[in-house]
Amino acid sequence: MIKTKSLTKTYKMGKVEVNALCGIDLTIERGEFVGIMGPSGSGKSTLLHLLGLLDNPTSGTILLDNIDSKSLSDKEKTLFRLHRLGYVFQDYALVPELDVYENVSLLPMVRNLAKERYQKECNDILIKFSLSDRANHLPNEISGGQQQRVAIARAMVNRPEILFADEPCANLDTTNSTMVLDLCKEINIEMDQTIIMVSHEDWHLKYFDRVIHLRDGLIEKDE
């Protein structure tokens, strides 16, 4: 499903070049729940951004379902992300002026799906994520845990092939973190959803099928 070969990313910080990734080779299969772990500066988020087509590698290749990311134009990448990928960010990243239902239905609306169809799917997913009673609330009117569930619902309503989660529990307490991780695991098992999650919490390990440990831009361990 995802295959990378000699993936590198170098940032320029003024005159200094920082090698964030120094040649990553990995393959991720459909339905895997992969955790990317490692210390700060190890390249976790950079790898996630490259795999999620949010950034371009300095060298190397990324194949998503055998499609080389380099062959896609910016617009094609945008459409690829819209139709085939899902994202959950550390700080929920909901549109503050849209209520819970509108946040969840935004992407199907952009995809120009029939209103009747996405209305049902959004309502179903809100029920599934125990958010139906918060459907008309604005993001600032609900808790952090609920906001993150809305963010996952927003990503999942599109039925993405891969769900990317960048430290989704970083701003949550243990109770809410557990709730979010349980939800991800449930999605992974029930829907055979591929999930790639960046985390630095050791207690998250039990949720992952596979853990890729990064250090200094290289895979230290893949287990």
Q: Which of 26, 82, 170, 218 binds other proteins (CB under 8 A)?
A: 82
**Residue 91 has which token pair?**
């700080």
DSSP H helical ranges for 31-114: 44-51, 74-84, 100-110
- Asked if 119 is part of the footprint of other proteins (rule: CB under 8 A), the reply reads no
Task: For other proteins, give the closer residue by CB, 149 or 208.
Answer: 149
- Asked if 102 is part of the footprint of other proteins (rule: CB under 8 A), the reply reads yes
Nearest to 60 by CA among 35, 52, 51: 51
Residue labelled with tokens 């459909």 = 30
Q: Which of 1, 22, 54, 218 binds other proteins (CB under 8 A)?
A: 54
The nearest distance, CB 74 to other proteins, in angstroms, is: 8
Contacts of 23 by beta carbon, 8 Å cutoff, 6+ apart: 6, 7, 8, 60, 217, 218
**Residue 34 has which token pair?**
């992969």
Binding-site size for other proteins (CB under 8 A) equals 29
The nearest distance, CB 110 to other proteins, in angstroms, is: 5
- Asked if 79 is part of the footprint of other proteins (rule: CB under 8 A), the reply reads yes
Task: Report 160-219 residues binding other proteins (CB under 8 A).
Answer: none
Helices and strands, number each (H, E), in the chain = 6, 10
What is the greatest pairwise CA distance in the chain? 54
- Which residues make up the interface to other proteins (CB under 8 A)? 49, 52, 54-55, 75, 78-83, 85-87, 89, 93, 95-98, 102, 106-107, 109-110, 112, 138, 154-155
